[in-house]
């Protein structure tokens, strides 16, 4: 049932397909090294890395839908921002579309992990589509906050990248009162009806430092601004950035496994570069350029929250063939988070004979 890209903690009867994401320890081949110069080369494998609970949940939703309902299953936008994952699911019968007009009336469609606006939900209803919502619960939290602040009469400032699907969905909850800002200059240029009635929210995949600077600027401009009770940046984004911050100073190069359109993966590269450690975003081991490794003895490897572990394994094994035979896994903090599945999927599982035993 589950892709072999992550380990699943044991499930009890009450949780069924609820996932518990654990970054696995890679079982890598031993490289014999006799050259002392080569032996100094090493890989620091960061932990936590790769799939977060929201990504596992979203992928599971598509896979279970394909198994229980049959192909084709339509998915609005990429289910998660990783080309390997999208290609794999497409081979299994998922059809990825940009807009709901591309979905036949009455067909089943899955919303991506990044969420959608109320306008998209209404359009789906008008077309009679059978909807399964794979929005990450932590993105839904931000949507709920946007609705709450808007109902309370606040002008909303959404800190994020305006071309990102998550931001489009969140802004769509209260479009008339929401402004998106991505730079300090945009904060300075903000104009609102009542400077004493302003609230802020953030995209869940921002850089921690970027978000902090932006929030500080907002508080300086609007001293009475309010925000969410808990930060909007998700646990996985934060944990992977903290891991890079803890290890980058001890590496000559940081390789981040992830796709170009993955916001949280790009932020990991930025975090490393801001610490003066060179870094590159790679979709796979094939993207590694020989010149990147010139004079490099220590390579740190991590992965964005939508990157599967199989790609990390390929990268480490490739580096081993180049003499980076000493692989040390550096665990910065434990990560053990689970999210439940939406009711449509739970019901589909419950109606299938022996479903619980197959999930184990």
Q: How far apart, in whole angstroms, are the C-alpha atoms of residue 109 and residue 14?
A: 27
> What sign does the CA torsion over 39, 41, 47, 52 have?
negative
Q: Write down the residue that tokens 């730079």 correspond to.
A: 183
Q: Which two tokens stand for residue 29?
A: 């081949």
Question: Cα–Cα–Cα angle for 47, 50, 51, nearest 5°?
Answer: 125
Q: Which two tokens stand for residue 77?
A: 């936008």
Q: Are 44 and 250 in contact (CB under 8 A)?
A: yes
Nearest to 25 by CA among 3, 6, 4: 6
Q: Are 335 and 289 in contact (CB under 8 A)?
A: no
Catalytic residue among 19, 67, 78, 166: 166
Alpha-carbon 106 to chain mean position: 30
User: Is 166 part of the annotated catalytic residue set?
Assistant: yes
Q: Would you put residue 208 in left (φ > 0), alpha (ψ -120 to 50) or beta?
A: alpha
Start-to-end Cα distance in the chain: 9
Per-residue buried b or exposed e for 42-53, using 16+ beta carbons within 10 Å of the residue's own CB: bbbbbbbbbbbb
- 289: helix, strand or coil: coil
> What sign does the CA torsion over 301, 307, 313, 318 have?
negative
Alpha-carbon 354 to chain mean position: 32
Give, in order, the Cα–Cα distances in Å from 196 to each of 74, 151, 188, 214. Answer: 44, 16, 16, 18
Helices (H), the chain: 36-39, 53-69, 83-91, 118-126, 137-151, 165-171, 184-188, 208-221, 235-247, 263-274, 309-321, 343-350, 355-359
Catalytic sites, residue numbers: 166
């Amino acid at each position: 049932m589950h892709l072999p890209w992550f380990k699943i903690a044991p499930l009890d009867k009450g949780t069924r397909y609820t996932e518990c994401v654990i970054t696995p320890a890679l079982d890598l081949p031993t490289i014999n090294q006799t050259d002392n110069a080569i032996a100094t080369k090493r890989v620091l494998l960061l932990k936590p890395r790769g799939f977060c609970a929201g990504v596992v949940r979203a992928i599971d939703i598509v896979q279970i839908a394909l198994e229980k309902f049959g192909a084709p299953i339509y998915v609005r936008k990429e289910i998660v921002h990783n080309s390997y994952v999208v290609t794999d699911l497409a081979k299994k019968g998922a059809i990825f579309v940009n807009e709901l007009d591309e979905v036949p009336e009455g067909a089943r469609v899955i919303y991506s992990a990044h969420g959608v606006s109320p306008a998209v939900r209404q359009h789906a209803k008008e077309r009679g589509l059978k909807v399964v919502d794979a929005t990450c619960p932590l993105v839904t939290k931000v949507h709920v906050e946007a609705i709450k602040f808007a109902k309370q009469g606040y002008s909303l400032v959404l800190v994020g990248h305006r071309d990102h699907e998550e931001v489009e969905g969140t802004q769509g909850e209260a479009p008339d009162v929401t402004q998106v800002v991505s730079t300090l200059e945009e904060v300075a240029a903000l104009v609102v009806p009542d400077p004493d009635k302003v609230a802020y929210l953030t995209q869940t995949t921002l850089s921690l430092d970027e978000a902090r600077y932006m929030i500080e600027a907002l508080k300086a401009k609007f001293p009475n601004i309010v925000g969410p009770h808990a930060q909007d940046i998700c646990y996985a984004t934060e944990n992977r950035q903290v891991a890079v911050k803890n290890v980058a100073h001890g590496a000559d190069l940081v390789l981040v496994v992830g796709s170009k359109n993955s916001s949280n993966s790009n932020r990991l590269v930025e975090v490393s570069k801001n610490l003066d450690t060179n870094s590159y975003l790679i979709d796979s081991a094939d993207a590694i350029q020989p010149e990147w490794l010139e004079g490099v003895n220590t390579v740190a490897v991590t992965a964005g929250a939508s990157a599967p572990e199989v790609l990390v394994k390929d990268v480490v094994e490739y580096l081993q063939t180049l003499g980076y035979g000493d692989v040390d896994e550096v665990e910065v903090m434990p990560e053990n988070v689970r999210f439940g599945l939406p009711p449509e999927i739970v019901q589909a599982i419950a109606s299938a004979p022996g479903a619980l035993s197959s999930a184990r």
